[in-house]
Amino acid sequence: MPSNEVMGPVFSASASGLPTVAMGGRNLHSTRDPRVEARRFIEARESSGKRIGPGSLVLLVGACLDYLAECLSGFHEGIDIVSIQLSSDFRGRERPGARLHWYAGERESLDGFLLSLLDPDELSPLVVLEWQPGMEAFPEEARAVREALARALSRNASEAATTRASGRRWIANAVRNFLGVEELVMMGRLTAPVLVLGAGPSLPEALALLEPLRESFHVIAVSSAAAAALARGIVPDLVVNTDPGWWSFPHLATLAGRSIPVAMPLSACQPWHASPILVVDQGLAFESELAGRLGPALRLPSHGTVSGSALFLAATMGSGPIVVAGFDFAATASESHARPHAFDGHILSAEGRLRPGEGLRWSRLSSAHPEILGDSGWRTSRSLGIYASAIASDAVGIGGRLWRLCPSPVDIPGARPLDPAGLTALSLATGRKAPSLPLRPVSATDDRRGALPGILATWRREARDYLDQGPDAIVRQLPIADLLRCIDLPDWAALRRAGRRGLWVPESAARLLDEVETFLAALEKRWIA
């Protein structure tokens, strides 16, 4: 253990009478007047042109006794100050000014804290201020905070980009699936272990181990892993699909002619075959309203990956062990996913005498996964790193019942490796699994189609009323805001940024309302005779 951790912070009074602190013989604040020191730090930053605008969210990292927070609250009105402390020794000793504090070693992970704090639409200008003495006194904690911030910002940027690209499709899919669903299944509690299958290249190895033990597990497969499981004679009890786009069709086409239930939010893509549906509610207000009209839905938190949603689902289904397989978040030197895979035909469509299939596979694999993981032969990428960090944060929260079969070199904290003997032990401990999920009735299609005009009329009226209320309503973010955000994220974000400062942007409001009117009119034309 480093000596500075053994000694810990030493608190004393400065010459001005204000508290100060040292650690390992090094002062973390001025011994003369720490408040003046903090003020000069802020003034120097401001004079260099790095002004903190109104409405900004300021994250202070390693600020120790938080003189920065005290001075900032006097310099600027209307800013939100949050202090990320690198040691819990400062708890309760800080100067006033920060709205929230997080301490290294808290039960709540920093990833979870930042996820709840940072707006995925980046609606508030974000300023990160590091207090260098504190960062140098706790170097390992400082590095962990920087990495967590990078993950959170990447995740938010990815989520905002997804909303901008797919928001309208989510609404259109929700309406289509509300009208088109034919069979529903009920959710029940499970006693046997749950095996969750991802589509990573280690999946075939895991399926070979699973095959003789199949009847001891409830098997949940993400949609892209269904073909590989079925090819080895393992029929999933449930397939999970959360993707809204056309790329889901090839994966789900594998289920045609089989009565395998699909767990999905109404906003996901669903082809017109007769799979029973377990309706998932991920919290979007328009989706929740439509799902509620079909009957009880399974409430799950939204996640940026279908693997994460499948993991949440498994955790909700029971309290027993959860085993994940094919959760690699990496590619091997020759495979980026388990085979057969719905996209293989697309990748090989350009195959010819001068363009052999293996060359096409390698070209795609090496460009999509440019980062080599040591000497293992595995490869990864920035996007897979974001997915892995998101899963890691969720895995820790499951609390000791998560196992990982045939793991890749990409670590998932909280998921313990499981060998073949351990898999057999789990199966022997629980015996055979319970029967499949039961069907439940769904209202007639004509009744749902008859209700749709009133639903769309209500959305239109609520959107107008909401925007008529100005900045106060925008900051409160009422349920109709989900619809506005998905239809026109740029103008919605502009209104939110202004609303936090008590301002209004009439041009953005007018454009947003026009987009809502046009989009809802298109839905009416498509679905209302």
Predicted confidence band at 4 (pLDDT cuts at 50, 70, 90)?
A: very low
* Range in 94-98, 355-359, 471-475, 482-486 the model is least confident about: 355-359
Q: Which two tokens stand for residue 99?
A: 């709205």
Residue 171 lies in a domain: no
Position 273 scores a pLDDT of 62
* Range of weakest confidence among 343-352, 377-386, 450-459: 343-352
Mean pLDDT, to the nearest integer, of 465-472? Answer: 90
Q: How far apart are CA 183 and CA 255, in angstroms?
A: 15
Q: Which residue has the higher pLDDT, 273 or 37?
A: 37
Mean pLDDT on 165-186: 92
DSSP state of 104: T
d(CA 238, CA 505): 47
- pLDDT > 80? residue 478: yes
Would 162 be classed as within a structural domain?
Answer: no
295 and 257 in one domain? yes
Residues 368 and 240 in one domain: yes
pTM reported for the whole predicted model: 0.78
Same domain, 211 and 310: yes
**CA of 151: how far to CAs of 40, 115, 366, 382, 513, in Å?**
31, 10, 23, 10, 34
Whether residue 166 lies inside any domain: the answer is no
The H or E element spanning position 250 is helix 248-253
The pLDDT score that the predictor gives to residue 233 is 92
Residues 401 and 302 in one domain: yes
What does the block give as tokens for 146? 């920087």
Are 386 and 356 in a shared domain? yes
d(CA 347, CA 380): 19
- The DSSP result for 291-318, as a single string, is HHHHS--EE----SSHHHHHHHHHHHHB
Pick from 403, 433, 463: which residue ends a domain? 433
**Domain tally, the chain:** 3
Token reading at 57: 């969210």
Identify the band that residue 346 occupies on the pLDDT scale cut at 50, 70 and 90.
low
Q: What is the pLDDT of residue 272?
A: 56
Is 439 domain-assigned?
A: no
464 shares its domain with 352: no
- Residue 265 within a domain: yes
Confidence (pLDDT) at 121: 63
Mean pLDDT of 77-98: 92
Q: How large a percentage of the chain has pLDDT more than 70?
A: 89
Last residue of a domain, one of 433, 455, 482: 433
Please provide the distance, in angstroms rounded to a whole number, between the alpha carbons at the two ends of the chain.
Answer: 73
C-beta neighbour count of 112 within 10 angstroms: 18
Peptide bond into 193 cis (omega under 30): no
Residue 122: predicted pLDDT: 54
Q: Is residue 340 part of a domain?
A: yes
Strands 80-85 vs 100-103: parallel, antiparallel or unpaired: parallel
Q: Do residues 491 and 401 share a domain?
A: no
Residue 464 lies in a domain: yes
Cβ atoms of 57 and 125 within 8 Å: the answer is: yes
H/E stretch holding 424? helix 420-430
One domain for residues 93 and 8? yes
Average pLDDT over residues 18-22: 97
391 and 484 in a single domain? The answer is no
pLDDT at 216 over 80: yes
What percent of the chain is predicted at pLDDT more than 90? 50
Q: DSSP string spanning 169-224?
A: HHHHHHHHHHHH---EE----B-S-EEEE--STTHHHHHHHHGGGGGGSEEEEEGG
Do both 429 and 451 map to the same domain?
Answer: no
State whether 353 and 274 are in the same domain.
yes
Domain extent for 80: 3-156
What does the pLDDT read at residue 88?
Answer: 94
> Tens digit of pLDDT for each residue in 425-458?
988 776 666 556 788 888 888 899 999 999 999 9
Same-domain status, 485 and 523? yes
